[in-house]
Homo-oligomer: A and B are copies of this chain.
Amino acid sequence: MPSSKSDRPMPPDARQALEQAALLCQQRGARLTELRRRVLEIIWNSPAPLGAYAILDILRDEGRPGAPPTVYRALDFLLEQGLIHRLASLNVFTGCRQPGSHHGGQFLICQECGLVDELSNPRLEELLQNEAAIRQFEVLAQTVEMLGRCPACRNGVARHAG
């Protein structure tokens, strides 16, 4: 058996996310192939959100054949399944903390260490929808991102690199 890609143990939330992803895809009849699963795993194993080309580099380091479309197609699948989010302000991708229900997501993103916190405030969602409804605007996609500094970085802790 080929050894796992890294000898670091996988973070518990990453393992859980992968299990839930497999379950959701099974329920939906969507195919979480080896490549797609590996891309999701890479995203979850990273402390900071990754760009498409950073993911590509990791795949290549593993000896896989790889070109940009390889990664972008996997990302498209994961986005469609609501398993990851794209952070438009940074052109990076992060695992969804509430998969299963497709949603736009609301994010706090630390510019120093890359920490991502996904909110899900119903009042915020409601307020946004209401602003749109007042104007008879039909919302199809939503981007809510706040960039700044996380508590650890404000205190100079600097745990993981961005």
Contacts and interface: CB of A to CB of B under 8 A. Distances in A.
Number of copies: 2
A123 interface: yes
Contact of A131 (B119, B136, B147): B119
Contact of A147 (B106, B123, B127, B141): B141
A138 B142 contact: no
A111 interface: yes
B111 A135 contact: no
Nearest 4 CB-CB pairs, A to B? A136-B151, A140-B148, A88-B88, A143-B145
Interface of A: 88-89, 106, 108, 110-111, 117, 119, 121, 123-124, 127-128, 131-132, 135-151, 154
